[in-house]
Amino acid sequence: MKTLKKVMIGLLVIFIATQFYRPEKNISKENHTAAFMEETNPPNEVKAILKNACFDCHSNNTVYPWYNNIAPVSFWLADHVEEGKSELNFSEWSSYSDKKKDHKLEELYEETEKRAMPLKEYTWTHHEARLTQDQIDAVVKWAKDTRSLYQLGNQPK
Ligand code: HEC
């Protein structure tokens, strides 16, 4: 019993101590995705879906939930954002080559279609990111159509 109490106190001390460490936040100014939106011109419905379900992990701006103030959650979220951005960052769209844009749009609709994105854990707390089949269809259609923007140099159909 005595040992258990010591262990519990030890864990509590460690938990409190880790609260002083905060990963750097992913915060950017307004309109960080303007270039992407302008170029790929999604219909309003798709715009809203990308904003509500994807941008938190795939852009330079994350809208953080209150529990991001608690370690180790803050580190777990920071990790997702960093990994998500390294795969696809809508705020850096202009820096991608046409070939890369085409490929990213292909991945985008594949991941959405098979419900691999947004990550399941994200939808636990972000209900607006639970996509209906109609929403998925809209994203897939837009992404498929938009790929043609970047395939002009390729062989004629
Ligand atoms: C909670 C964070 C989070 C959200 C929200 C999220 N993603 Fe991701 N995404 C990730 C992470 C982490 C990876 C890299 C690891 C992986 O592929 O699972 C990733 C990878 C990807 C990839 C690359 C997959 C590949 O083939 O490697 C695409 C495309 C993608 N996401 C699209 C989306 C789209 C579209 C949405 C919105 C409908 C979305 N993501 C929402 C975190 C997220």
Sequence spans of domains, the chain: 2-150
Do 49 and 139 meet the contact criterion of CB atoms below 8 Å apart?
A: yes
Task: State the distance from the centre of ligand 1 to the C-alpha of 27, rounded, in angstroms.
Answer: 18
User: Rounded to whole angstroms, how far apart are CA atoms 59 and 87?
Assistant: 11
Q: Is 138 in the pocket of ligand 1 (CB under 6 A)?
A: no
Amino acid in the structure at residue 71? A
Task: State the distance from the centre of ligand 1 to the C-alpha of 151, rounded, in angstroms.
Answer: 23
| Residues in the chain with pLDDT values less than 50 | 155-157
Question: What pLDDT is stored for residue 153 in this prediction?
Answer: 63
pLDDT digits (tens, 9 = 90+) for 86-130: 999 999 999 999 999 999 999 999 999 999 999 999 999 999 999
pTM to 2 decimal places: 0.91
